[in-house]
C-alpha cells in the first residue's frame, strides 16, 4: 500500500515537473524572440501597434476573452505589451490585473462546469476538449488544478472539469491562488528580459 502511494506521489510530481519544464521552455523561446525584436525592430514605428497598445480596454478585453476560452493567447504576450507598447502604464498594476482576470476566468469556468455540466454545450466541450484531461483528473485529483495554475496545461479547461465534479468551492478558490504565483514568476522573468 505504501509503495503504491509512493509511486502515485512520484508520478504526480513528475507530471508537474514535466509541465513546468514545458512552460519554462516556451517562456524561454518567447523571451528570446522578445529580446530579438526589442533590439532589432522598433515597436514605436508601427502606429497600429501603438494605437491598440495605448488602448487598455481593447487589450484587456482580448485577454479576458482569451482566458475564458481556454487561454488561446499566452499571458506572457500581454506582459510584454505592458512593458513595451503601453505608454504610461504601471507594469506591476497590469501584472496584478492580468493575474486577477485569469483567476476570475478560471472561477467562471468552474461555475460553468459546476452548474451546466448537464447541458449539451458541456457535453460537446467534454467530448471535444475535456476528455483527454479526465484521465489525468481521475489519476491526480485536485493536484491537476495546481499543475494547470502554474504550467501551460489549459487552466480554464481544468477549472471546468473540476467544477463538473462539484469540487468544494472554498478548496477550489484556495488552490487556484497558485495562478498569482505563476504570474509573479513569469512577470518577473519578462521584466528581467526587457532589461537585457
Cell of 95: 501584472
Q: Which residue is listed with cell 512577470?
A: 187
CB 63 within 8 A of CB 101: yes
What is the structure's pLDDT at 6? 44
Looking at the structure of the chain, the number of domains it has is 1
Distance between CA atoms of residues 43 and 50, nearest Å: 8
Q: Please identify which residue in the block is written with the cell numbers 519544464.
A: 21
Q: Tell me the pLDDT tens digit for each residue of 95-145.
A: 999 999 999 999 999 999 999 999 999 999 899 888 888 988 888 888 899
The per-residue pLDDT for range 37-90, each reduced to its tens digit, is 777 766 555 555 556 667 788 889 999 998 987 677 888 888 988 887 767 678
Kindly indicate the confidence band of residue 5, based on its pLDDT and cuts at 50, 70 and 90: very low
d(CA 183, CA 102): 9
Residue 34 zone, left/alpha/beta (φ > 0; ψ -120 to 50; rest)? alpha
Domain enclosing residue 164, as ranges: 2-195
For residue 73, give the 3-state DSSP assignment: coil
Q: How far apart are CA 123 and CA 130, in angstroms?
A: 9
Q: What angle do CA 149, 151, 152 make, to 5 degrees?
A: 110
86, 76, 99, 101: which is closest to 25 by C-alpha? 76
Amino acid at each position: 500500500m505504501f509503495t503504491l502511494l509512493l509511486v502515485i506521489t512520484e508520478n504526480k510530481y513528475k507530471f508537474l515537473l514535466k509541465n513546468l519544464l514545458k512552460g519554462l521552455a516556451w517562456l524561454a523561446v518567447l523571451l528570446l524572440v522578445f529580446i530579438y525584436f526589442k533590439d532589432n525592430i522598433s515597436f514605436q514605428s508601427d502606429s497600429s501597434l501603438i494605437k491598440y497598445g495605448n488602448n487598455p480596454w481593447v487589450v484587456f478585453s482580448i485577454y479576458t476573452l482569451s482566458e475564458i476560452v481556454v487561454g488561446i493567447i499566452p499571458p506572457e504576450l500581454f506582459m510584454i505589451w505592458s512593458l513595451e507598447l503601453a505608454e504610461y502604464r504601471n507594469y506591476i498594476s497590469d501584472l496584478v490585473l492580468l493575474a486577477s482576470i485569469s483567476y476570475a476566468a478560471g472561477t467562471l469556468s468552474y461555475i460553468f462546469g459546476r452548474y451546466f455540466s448537464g447541458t449539451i454545450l458541456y457535453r460537446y466541450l467534454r467530448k471535444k476538449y475535456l476528455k483527454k484531461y479526465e484521465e489525468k483528473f481521475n489519476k491526480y485529483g485536485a493536484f491537476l488544478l495546481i499543475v494547470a495554475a502554474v504550467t501551460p496545461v489549459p487552466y480554464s479547461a481544468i477549472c471546468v472539469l473540476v467544477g463538473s465534479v462539484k469540487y468544494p468551492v472554498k478548496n477550489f478558490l484556495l488552490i487556484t491562488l497558485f495562478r498569482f504565483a505563476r504570474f509573479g514568476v513569469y512577470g518577473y522573468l519578462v521584466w528581467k528580459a526587457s532589461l537585457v
